[in-house]
Amino acid sequence: MMSGSLRKPALAGVVLVVAGACMNANAALITYTAVLSGLAESPPNASPGTGFCTVDIDRDAHTMRIRVDFSGLLGPTTACHIHAPTAVAGTGTVGVATPTPSFPAFPHGVTSGSYDHTLDMTLASSYNAPFLAARGGSTALAESDFWLYLHEGRAYLNLHSSVFPGGEIRGFLVPAPGAAGLLALGGLVATRRRRA
C-alpha cells in the first residue's frame, strides 16, 4: 500500500500524462473566429450587415477550413477573402493573402448566405499570387507566414459588396475561446521569424 506522500506525486504524474495526451491529440487543430461588421471596416461604414467567421487550421493536414455566415448586406456580394499581414494587430489594411477575388465557390450576388470550404495550404491556388510571390513562390513559406500572421492577430476576413466595393463587413481573426491556452502552451510554434 502506498503512503499518502507517495500517492500525490504518482497521481500528479498520471494527470500530466493524460493532459499531455489530450493536448497532443488536439494540438494540430487551432480555431480562429471573427465577428464581421461595417464598423470594423477601414474606414468604418453604417452597413447593417453582420457576419461570423470560423477558421480551423489543421497544421498536420496542412488545411484551412473557412466557415462564414452573413446577412443584412446592403449590396450583393462581390468578393470574400483574408487579408494579411497588417502592420499592427487588430487594425489597418493590407493586401489579400488568400485566393482572389474570393474563396472557391463563395456565394456571389447575394446579401445573406453561408459558406464552408477547406483549402489545401500546400497548393499555390490557396494563396493570392502577390502574397505567394513575396515568399519566393514557396507554398511552405507562405503557409508558415500565414499561420504566424493569424497567431499575431494581423489577419482579417473581408466581405465586399456592390455597395461597398472596398469591403462592406470585416473582422480580425482571433483565437477561439480555449485556443489561447493551447497557443500559450506551444500549440502553434512559428517555424521562422517574421521578416517585416
Which residues share a beta bridge with 50?
37, 71
Mean pLDDT, range 157-170, rounded to an integer: 98
**For residues 148 and 189, what is the distance between their CA atoms, to the nearest angstrom?**
8
Share of residues in the chain with pLDDT > 90 (%) = 75
Domains of the chain plus CATH, in order, are 28-184 (2.60.40)
Tens of pLDDT, residues 55-88: 999 999 999 999 999 999 999 999 999 999 999 9
Q: Report pLDDT for 177.
A: 80
Closest by CA position to 103, among listed 85, 135, 128, 86: 128
Q: What is the pTM of this model?
A: 0.79
Q: Report pLDDT for 14.
A: 36
Grid coordinates representing 185?
502552451
Share of residues in the chain with pLDDT > 70 (%) = 77
CB 70 within 8 A of CB 159: yes
* pLDDT band, residue 4 (cuts 50/70/90): low
Q: Report pLDDT for 186.
A: 44
Mean pLDDT, range 40-58, rounded to an integer: 97
Q: Report pLDDT for 111.
A: 98
CB 77 within 8 A of CB 160: yes
